[in-house]
Amino acid sequence: MPITAAILLSFVLAPLVDLLRRWRLGRVPSVLIAVFVAIAIIGAIGTVIGSQVAQLAPRAPEYAGTIERKIEAARTYMAEKASGLLERIGYDATPLQTVPQGSAGAETSVKGDQPGSKPATSSPLELLQKYLSPILSPFATLGIVLVISIFVLLQKEDLRDRMIRLFGATDLHRTTVALDDAAQRLSRYFLAQLGLNSAFGVIIGAGLFFIGVPNPVLWGILSGLLRFVPYIGSFISAGLPITLATAVDPGWSMAI
């Protein structure tokens, strides 16, 4: 996966590298500048996503309570409809008895406080590994992607020549032209896809802003990123703000 992502990123950055090389900056400075630009953009997007999630997190209990009330109202409505239907066809519908929440909590506390149970202790190294591994793993993957992208961009012609020796040694000129043309077309395709998905995210974010959904910037960025997932990405990106709109609005107009 990191190698695949690095190759895709190198196709996106190749036009910028070619532009910088036409400005007589040299191959290595052009590649490093292009990669630093990519790091800055990725870092800015990650910072915005983190700040938006931090703003959203304190309101999560309130949103969860709204969703629970809506679910309870829907269940009550369906139970009343089912009860009325059963009464009309001649059955005696009795309400379901629910167990009070306090008794369930008391049972759980009694079971949890059994004698002889000791809290599990962990060493500082285990705690450090437990909490730092999920944080450092994405950064390690990103570092691998960036390093491989640098080498792919630096050795682009060498990689092309190696592919020629593997697949097209009988006609070097035509194979070279074909590979160069394919690389240019792929770069244009990925850049067009990036621009289209960015515009998609901007439109979604603006629409959610006018509708009144909280944190529209976050959902716009996620919509643009998820649209890279074929077929289902757009639907997944739609489900997140719709769920939030259901939690925010006491009614259903915002979600609709």
d(CA 16, CA 22): 10
pLDDT at 100: 53
Distance CA 193, CA 34 (A): 19
Report the pLDDT value the prediction gives residue 111, as an integer from 0 to 100: 47
Residue 147: CB atoms within 10 Å: 13
- Please name the helix (run of DSSP H) or strand (run of DSSP E) that holds residue 101, with its range, or none: helix 101-112
Q: Which of 165, 173, 144, 208 is nearest to 7 (CA)?
A: 144
* DSSP 8-state assignment for residue 79: H
Using one digit for the tens of pLDDT, what is the confidence trace for 123-174? 666 766 666 666 677 777 888 888 888 888 888 777 777 777 776 566 677 7
Q: How far apart are CA 190 and CA 77, in angstroms?
A: 50
What's the distance, Cα to Cα, between the start and end of the chain in Å? Answer: 38
Indicate yes or no: pTM above 0.75. Answer: no
pLDDT tens digits, one per residue of 3-59: 888 888 888 898 888 888 888 888 889 899 999 999 999 899 989 998 988 888 888
The pLDDT of residue 97 is: 52
Q: Determine the Cα–Cα distance for residues 75 and 136; give it in Å rounded to an integer.
A: 43
Q: Are 59 and 214 in contact (CB under 8 A)?
A: yes
Tell me the pLDDT tens digit for each residue of 65-121.
888 888 888 888 888 878 777 777 765 545 555 555 554 444 444 444 455 555 556
CB–CB of 5/146 below 8 Å? no
Measuring CA to CA, which residue among 186, 184, 142, 137 is closest to residue 6? 142
Residue 25, amino acid: L
Where helices occur in 212-232 by DSSP H, the ranges are: 216-226
Query: How far apart are alpha carbons 17 and 19 in whole angstroms?
Result: 5
The amino acid present at 163, given as its one-letter code, is M
Task: Tell me how far the alpha carbon of residue 206 is from its chain's centroid.
Answer: 19
